[in-house]
Amino acid sequence: MEIRIDKDDQDVVVSIIGRMDAVTAPDFDQEIEKKISEGEKRFVVDLSQLEYISSAGLRSMLSMAKKLKQNQGTLALCGLKGVVKEVFDVSGFSSIFSICEDVQKARKAL
């Protein structure tokens, strides 16, 4: 899994590339924890290049949402497709998160 983080004036855009599972999810958690501890509050997670997500990856997403909520932050996901979209739909996570088509729409949703 590769994690790309882009920061502009207001938002942090986190792009996840590859597979997010029990082995790679802790790397995501560390990166997100670092950004939240630096005071970042507005996050877009771009999943358009994510090929697979396991329950560990879902836990990481939920943990991120909880930490942001505690810090009055906001989160929007975008780019869900294929197997990743199915996992979010079947698990019920699609109703928990703000999910948008692309990064631009996700930024507006924050």
DSSP codes of every residue in 23-74:
TTHHHHHHHHHHHHHTT--EEEEE-TTEEEE-HHHHHHHHHHHHHHHHTT-E
What does the pLDDT read at residue 9?
85
What mean pLDDT is reported for the chain? 97
Tokens of 66: 């909880």
Q: How confident is the model at residue 8 (pLDDT cuts 50, 70, 90)?
A: confident
What integer is the mean pLDDT of 51-56?
Answer: 97
pTM exceeds cut of 0.85:
yes
**Which residue segment(s) compose the domain that 83 sits in?**
2-109
Q: How large is the average pLDDT for residues 9-32?
A: 97
pLDDT for position 49: 98
Q: How many domains does the chain have?
A: 1
- CATH of residue 41: 3.30.750.24
Q: Tens digit of pLDDT for each residue in 60-88?
A: 999 999 999 999 999 999 999 999 999 99
